[in-house]
Amino acid sequence: MSAAPAALADRYAAVRALSSALVAPLSDADATIQSMDDASPAKWHLAHTTWFFETFVLRDHVAGYRLFDERWPFLFNSYYEAEGQRHARPRRGMLSRPTLDEVHAYRAAVDHAIFEAIPILSPEAQALIALGCQHEQQHQELLLTDMLHHFSVNPLAPAVWPAAAKVPVAVPGPIGWIQGADGMVTIGSAGQPSPHPADFAFDCEGPRHQALLTPHALADRTVTNGEWAAFIADGGYADPRHWLSDGWAWVQANRIGAPLYWQQIDGVWTRFGLDGRRPIDPAAPVTHVSFFEADAYAGWAGARLPTEFEWEAAAAGADPRSGNQLDAAGPVEPRPSTSGPAWFGDVWEWTGSAYRPYPGFRAVEGAVGEYNGKFMSGQCVLRGGSCATPRGHVRASYRNFFYPHQRWQFTGVRLAKDL
């Protein structure tokens, strides 16, 4: 095997192995449950990412390939209309069969076929494997955040991984401000789905284009749990002056009074994590907050959320592999660490920007063209990655996106202000 296909095979193997490591602590029952419509069972994530490779690489580019089970595409297609009918998303947790062992067997069979095919695949098919690896990395983060939600609704508050040893850390000092670029800046990526990770970008990250920035500054770190507790203590969730109209309606309708997974016990704020329920760390970045909460906090603090263009211009020179991210080696349980200067990792940072296409954007042809473009409505952009994002997956131009009320991901806040 030549160097390029061998490197692609190594990358594929590493990505697939990490998914297996993440589910290693789970029983079949753990991997089957679905705690809300936004979350999917761990078993489904494992099978869906495998379906992606089987469908778009093996079925479409390997002559004579036969599906592992012709019934399973209906179960494990997510939202690809071009691939036909599919099992309803809210009912994924009803799939007691296939079992977790059968899903692992499916993964093993597809992996074997991919490894045999890589040396003879066309560049187009190899690019689809690269896309599939990025896709599976996205699902690794979803897998972790969905597991967290599943376990959070269990009254036993079970821990998936043991807690890290408690190490006293200093609470960060007051937020400092970094003056941002102003005038015309170049935004976006010129990359595209490629077998080479350094050249890869999703279609929604481009085309590169210019954006006009007015004088502004960005906070030198993200907002901490301790600072968020002060917002709560000051009645931040009870004062409509801080909230957008839709956000205030959401707070009222859902009786929101703290970040997701926070609970006050005997006067002490605690949070639930994959290491169980523990007191909040006042020095750690606040996480599991919605866009509505992020915007309200920013208003309360006399600031605002950065635009995605301000954020990208500031982070463009930083190492995207830095910061607290998910690593294949060592403990895989993600934990936000002390809020610090890194632009990448710990928590996804809400921006004030709507997820819309860049000038000149065109979705690629075929079913994979449904990957990003059709979701450019009603969602907000997040930047920077989190403690559950596989290291090497994000870059300064990377655009994550969620609806403004969603908060089961590791989402946090960096402030900005006009100058």
Mean confidence (pLDDT) of the chain: 92
* Residues with Cβ within 8 Å of residue 24, at least 6 apart in sequence: none
pLDDT one-digit tens code per residue, 327-342: 875 556 677 776 667 8
| pLDDT over threshold 90, residue 366 | no
Q: In this predicted structure, what is the pLDDT of residue 197?
A: 64
pTM of the model: 0.94
Mean pLDDT for the stretch of residues 112-119 = 96
pLDDT one-digit tens code per residue, 231-276: 999 999 999 999 999 999 999 999 999 999 999 999 999 999 999 9
Pairing of strands 411-412, 348-354: parallel
Q: How confident is the model at residue 196 (pLDDT cuts 50, 70, 90)?
A: low
CA 358 to chain centre: 21
350: buried, middle or exposed (CB in 10 Å: 19+, 13-18, 0-12)?
buried
239 token code pair: 């004062």
Q: In this predicted structure, what is the pLDDT of residue 248?
A: 98
Beta bridge partner(s), residue 183 = 213
What is the 8-class DSSP label of residue 222?
A: P
Q: In this predicted structure, what is the pLDDT of residue 50?
A: 98
Residue bearing tokens 């866009």:
291
Q: In this predicted structure, what is the pLDDT of residue 333?
A: 64
Q: How far apart are CA 125 and CA 405, in angstroms?
A: 37
Share of the chain above pLDDT 70, in %: 94
288 token code pair: 């599991």
| pLDDT over threshold 90, residue 39 | yes
Q: In this predicted structure, what is the pLDDT of residue 1?
A: 56
Q: How far apart are CA 35 and CA 298, in angstroms?
A: 30
Q: How confident is the model at residue 166 (pLDDT cuts 50, 70, 90)?
A: confident
Q: How confident is the model at residue 195 (pLDDT cuts 50, 70, 90)?
A: low
Residue predicted with more confidence, 163 or 419:
419
Q: In this predicted structure, what is the pLDDT of residue 375?
A: 84
User: Which of 3-12, 89-98, 325-334 has the weakest average pLDDT?
Assistant: 325-334
| pLDDT over threshold 90, residue 171 | no
Q: How far apart are CA 23 and CA 195, in angstroms?
A: 26
Q: In this predicted structure, what is the pLDDT of residue 199?
A: 76
Q: Is the peptide bond before 279 cis (omega within 30 degrees of 0)?
A: no
